[in-house]
Amino acid sequence: MKKFAPVLAAVMVMASALSSPLGSVSAEGSYSMNVKVDIGGSTKEISPYIYGVNQYTTQDTLKNVTTHSIRQGGNRMTAYNWETNASNAGSDWQHSSDTNLSTSEDPADCVQDLSKIAEKNNIDYKLTTLQLAGYVSADKNGPVSEAEAAPSKRWNKVVLTKGSAFADTPDLTDGVVYMDEYVNYIINKLGDSKSKTGMQAYSLDNEPVLWNHTHSRIHPNPVSIEELRDKSVEMAKAVKKLDPNAEIFGPALYGYTAYDHLADDDSSNEWETLKAQNGYHWYLDCYLDQMKQASDEAGVRLLDVLDIHYYSESVKSGKPDDILQSVRTLYEKGFKEDSWIGMWCQENIPILPTIQNSIDKYYPGTKLAITEYDFGGNNLCGAIAQAEALGCYADAEVYYATLWGGNPYQLSAINLYTNYDGKGGSFGNELVPAKTDDVSLSSSYAAINNGDKSEITVMVTNKDQEKSEKALISLDNSDKEYKAAAVYAIYGDSADIKLLDVNYNVKNNKVEVELPSLATAMVVVSDDASDFKDLKPFDPDSVQKKVVTINNPSVNKNGFVEIPIEDPEHLKEIKLTANVTSSAGSGWATAGCAVSINAKDKNGTGFWTSKSYTLGLGTGQTATIAFDGTFKNDEEDVEGVIADGKVELQQWWSASEKQEADIDDVISADYTKIEVVYEYTSNVSSVRGDVNADGTFSIADIIMMQKWLICAGNITDIKAGDLSEDGSINVFDLSIMKQELAAK
């Protein structure tokens, strides 16, 4: 909004700042970390499907990440009616049955949409969800009251196997939805699991242990071990009969408690009885054993992939160190995270090896999937945790993993493995042994591609929040002589992957890499230095940022926080800090929000769009909304800009502990700080004060500086304007410019 543009002092108060993206790159005070890579050691095949995402996450996920797998799942899918595309939010939002997943009347539109999305984004592996809870939405008429719980006209009954001929078009009048008919419809419409457009796998619903909480209108009682077994077996048999090559994922357990004893409410002592009778260690043993027995009886494997969800408990504190160390619970024996899992569940730490032991004992050959996970951190800590998680998954031989959500830092960490150079450069497909001195300070994983040891990729992190790290990477037991290395990294003040360094002087198969604090890097080492001949490391002087800070923003007449956007063309991101409260005193809550935008495309045509984000309960909650010059318009990405110089922060939905219990609860987000970040690419001049980079210092430079300070123009060479050499552009630099030009 131009009304405040002339007020230079206000702009200064709002902190127009210039900062170096290198962070603490100085070697002073740094420490050294030895990274040992055993090129001659035994290798492990890395599944490409661990670099996956969920479909129903953030709006911009797929266009910002290179991925090989995608899952269509989550709470919305449990009551999805494939015949009409109606679905129900459950306790996430007023038990609303509506058009959230699709407005189409075409049967199975959601899975058809998944197929199109995967084809558009070159995603190989598609996983969709089948409904087992008993009922699905019969209409799209909004909230379902407790009095309308199933069975009622608001719901259609789910029957897993029809037992008669399938219809080409589903019957919308019988009040029943057949799940095997759904699979048959998918195959006829898109092809089977071997086809490019078909579904490679089917999930046996979503988080069944939480049905009585999330979907109490259709499943008010806790799921029993017997019910879950019987439904899983019947559905798996039906799928295998129709598509023998399709993989079955189950049981999509929500977290550690479910792995251990399935449900908290076991008044019948069902679990304790089965545990005692069979000597099971935890519930996963029981599920695997039951599916193995049923498979043997059926003469066909009914469970291909054991499916779990994992949301780190320790990261709920929001403390950077808890995020940085969170992945260790999955792989490190003796590690004790700061949570109830770390306090009470050490017998099953590390978690992934314990799960693998259950698989090996009760159903050998079953693969492992983590179809929802999140280690938190919309910052550099989050990038480090995400990168370490992917390396951990590779080492534990996880088959399939799909991130839930996905902030810019997490997505960049995936790209570090799948597209680190923006040209398809990726981590290898065979893991080789790698280790660091201390995983609390640095983690590392290394790989080769198809047995070719001429190029090695080494992922290495620096978890120190203040100091840089000298990582000495030793490439041992190799018959190759490595000559050069390129270092791609996430560090500094953005989630972008940047080429940090190119080292043409690798000797004795040792690579020295200096990593800034809180950095995640992919080090690509080659025996041919010419591989990197055209690479130029990122120049921090070529890209600069200006941050406009608004403290304690007020709401506008619409009741929303309005953010002025002075330079839409160069808008990089909006960083939000808020205090999220619950009026009913919930122990957990989520506010679903969006940046609402009036945009216009390159032809000048206006349209409305938005960018979604979520905030958890607590003080100082943060979110980062990235902008890359494109916006969603009718589900297509188009080039555009913000049209009217402002955006609004709107809250669209909420979920909380009390809402799940049908208690009125207002979840409110009170924004305390907003940072609007603009990014500029500039030429670099050798002339002091020459901000327009024309080779001379003149009055034109002062005019450009004045306009830039009031967000009314751009600077060609920002570094030339920092005359006070304090790392920022401000009125003091402008004053010095005027004095020096007058003297000149």
Q: Is residue 407 part of a domain?
A: no
At 596-642, the pLDDT tens digits run: 999 999 899 999 999 888 888 999 998 888 898 888 887 678 889 99
Query: Which of 225-234, 591-600, 636-645 is predicted with the least confidence, judged by mean pLDDT?
Result: 636-645
pLDDT of residue 656: 86
Same domain, 468 and 559: no
Domain that holds residue 459: 31-45+427-539
- Contacts of residue 406, Cβ cutoff 8 Å, sequence gap at least 6: 53, 57, 58, 61, 65
Q: Which residues of 438-468 are buried (b: 16+ CB within 10 A; e: fewer)?
A: ebebbbbbbbbbeeebebbbbbbbbbbeebb
Residue 354 to residue 6: CA distance in whole angstroms: 63
Tokens 């407790």 correspond to 146
CATH of the domain at 532: 2.60.40.1180
Q: Is residue 484 part of a domain?
A: yes
Residue 155, both tokens: 């719901």
At 556-578, the pLDDT tens digits run: 998 999 999 998 988 999 999 99
Residue 393 to residue 375: CA distance in whole angstroms: 13
Domain termination residue (choose one: 539, 567, 582): 539
Same domain, 41 and 61: no
Same domain, 572 and 494: no
Same domain, 601 and 724: no
CATH of the domain at 623: 2.60.120
pLDDT of residue 17: 37
CB 709 within 8 A of CB 14: no
CB 610 within 8 A of CB 59: yes
CA 78, chain centre distance (Å): 22
pLDDT of residue 9: 34
Q: Is residue 621 part of a domain?
A: yes
Closest CA to 584 of 519, 660, 653, 480: 660
Same domain, 107 and 248: yes
For the chain, report the end-to-end CA distance as a whole number of angstroms.
37
3-state SS of 44-72 is EECCHHHCEEECCCCCCCHHHCCCCEEEC
Helices (H), 121-268: 179-190, 211-214, 225-242, 256-261
Same domain, 474 and 527: yes
Q: Is the pLDDT of residue 726 over 80?
A: no
CB 396 within 8 A of CB 44: no
Question: Confidence band (pLDDT; 50, 70, 90) for 20?
Answer: very low
Same domain, 183 and 60: yes
Tokens 């390129």 correspond to 486
What's the residue count for the chain?
744
Question: Confidence band (pLDDT; 50, 70, 90) for 95?
Answer: very high
Q: Is residue 444 part of a domain?
A: yes
Q: Is residue 417 part of a domain?
A: no
Q: Is the pLDDT of residue 12 over 90?
A: no
At 637-665, the pLDDT tens digits run: 888 999 999 999 999 988 888 887 779 99
Residue 694, both tokens: 């024309």
Residue 98 to residue 90: CA distance in whole angstroms: 11
Fill in the DSSP letter of residue 144: -
Count helices and strands in the chain by DSSP H and E runs: 17, 35
Q: Which residues of 118-141 are buried (b: 16+ CB within 10 A; e: fewer)?
A: beeeebebbbbbbbbbbbbbbbbe
Q: Is the pLDDT of residue 341 over 50?
A: yes
Residue 186 to residue 687: CA distance in whole angstroms: 66
CB 251 within 8 A of CB 206: no
CATH of the domain at 240: 3.20.20.80
At 502-536, the pLDDT tens digits run: 999 899 999 999 999 999 999 999 999 999 998 99
Question: Confidence band (pLDDT; 50, 70, 90) for 684?
Answer: low
Whole-angstrom CA distances from 285 to 247, 271, 361, 613 are 20, 11, 8, 37
Residue 70 to residue 81: CA distance in whole angstroms: 21
Tokens 């693998």 correspond to 356
At 381-390, the pLDDT tens digits run: 999 999 999 9
Q: Is the pLDDT of residue 719 over 80?
A: no
Domain termination residue (choose one: 508, 539, 570): 539
- Contacts of residue 248, Cβ cutoff 8 Å, sequence gap at least 6: 201, 202, 204, 236, 239, 240, 301, 302, 303, 304, 305
Q: Is the pLDDT of residue 378 over 60?
A: yes
Q: Is the pLDDT of residue 585 over 90?
A: yes
Q: Is the pLDDT of residue 24 over 50?
A: no
Closest CA to 289 of 299, 279, 320: 279
Q: Is the pTM of this model over 0.75?
A: yes
Domain termination residue (choose one: 539, 558, 591): 539
Q: Is the pLDDT of residue 407 over 50?
A: yes
Same domain, 170 and 124: yes
Residue 45 to residue 415: CA distance in whole angstroms: 19
Residue 313 sits at φ, ψ, to 5 deg, of: -75, -35
Question: Confidence band (pLDDT; 50, 70, 90) for 29?
Answer: low
Q: Which residue has the higher pLDDT, 570 or 291?
A: 291
Same domain, 60 and 179: yes
Mean of the pLDDT values across residues 712-728? 77
Share the mean pLDDT of the chain: 90
Q: Is residue 644 part of a domain?
A: yes
Closest CA to 511 of 455, 595, 430, 571: 455
The percent of residues above 90 in pLDDT, for the chain, comes to: 73
Tokens 């990726």 correspond to 426
CATH of the domain at 723: 1.10.1330.10
pLDDT of residue 727: 66
Task: Determine how many CB atoms are found less than 10 A away from the CB of residue 20.
Answer: 15
Q: Is residue 344 part of a domain?
A: no
Same domain, 156 and 98: yes
- The total domain count for the chain is 4
Q: Is residue 698 part of a domain?
A: yes
At 462-472, the pLDDT tens digits run: 999 999 999 99
Cis peptide before 553 (omega within 30 of 0): no
Same domain, 603 and 526: no
Mean of the pLDDT values across residues 61-78? 92
Instruction: Exactly one of 83, 181, 207, 313 is catalytic; name it.
Output: 207
Same domain, 169 and 249: yes
Mean of the pLDDT values across residues 453-466? 96
At 133-182, the pLDDT tens digits run: 999 999 999 999 999 999 999 999 999 999 999 999 999 999 999 999 99
Vertex 377 angle, CA 411 and 433, to 5°:
65
Our answer to whether residue 207 is catalytic in this structure is yes
